[in-house]
């Protein structure tokens, strides 16, 4: 149980394009989902907290207009990296909070490479 999927797992795109990443909780409802970014050999960096049906809460220094988050249902949140640039290349990971267990369950991550 408590499975979270992410799609795509890997994406390579040209500079200036937008990339959408989906995060789904497959067997539980997640009122809250979190989006993280992790650079090689660095710790997880929380980007934003996404609550179903409301606007996301972004961490300091994270541009709202560049990283668009939508949490339209209790099982799906999306992160869109708009006008991606090489410095946006990173490992993007979502987690979904299971209200019943209080556990945060991580998706497998999306590796983004911007050329």
Partner 1 sequence: QKEVEQNSGPLSVPEGAIASLNCTYSDRGSQSFFWYRQYSGKSPELIMSIYSNGDKEDGRFTAQLNKASQYVSLLIRDSQPSDSATYLCAVNTNAGKSTFGDGTTLTVKP
- Positions touching partner 1 (CB under 8 A) are 34, 43-44, 46, 49, 91, 93, 95, 101-109
What one-character-per-residue DSSP string does the chain give? ---EEEE-SEEEE-TT--EEEEEEESSS--SEEEEEEE-TTS--EEEEEEETTS--EEPTT--TTTEEEEEEETTEEEEEE-S--GGG-EEEEEEEE-TTT--EEE---EEEEE-
Nearer to partner 1, 18 or 101 (CB): 101
- Please, which residue, 40 or 86, has the CB nearer to partner 1? 40
Nearer to partner 1, 82 or 109 (CB): 109
Report in angstroms how near the CB of residue 11 gets to partner 1 at its nearest.
16
Residue 53, classified by CB atoms within 10 Å of its CB into exposed (0-12), middle (13-18) or buried (19+), is exposed
Min CB(48)–partner 1 separation in Å: 9
Q: How far is the CB of 57 from partner 1 (least distance, A)?
A: 8
- CB nearer to partner 1: pick between 59 and 83: 59
Find the shortest distance in angstroms from Cβ 97 to partner 1.
Answer: 9
């Amino acid at each position: 149980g408590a499975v979270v999927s992410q799609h795509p797992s890997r994406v390579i795109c040209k500079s200036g394009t937008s990339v959408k990443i989906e995060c789904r909780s497959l067997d539980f409802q997640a009122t809250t989902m979190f989006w993280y970014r992790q650079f090689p050999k660095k710790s997880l960096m929380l980007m934003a907290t996404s609550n179903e049906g409301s606007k996301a809460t972004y961490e300091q220094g994270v541009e709202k207009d560049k990283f668009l988050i939508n949490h339209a249902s209790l099982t799906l949140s999306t992160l869109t990296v708009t006008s991606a640039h090489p410095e946006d290349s990173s490992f993007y990971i979502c987690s979904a909070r299971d209200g019943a267990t209080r556990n945060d369950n991580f998706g497998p991550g999306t590796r983004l490479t911007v050329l």
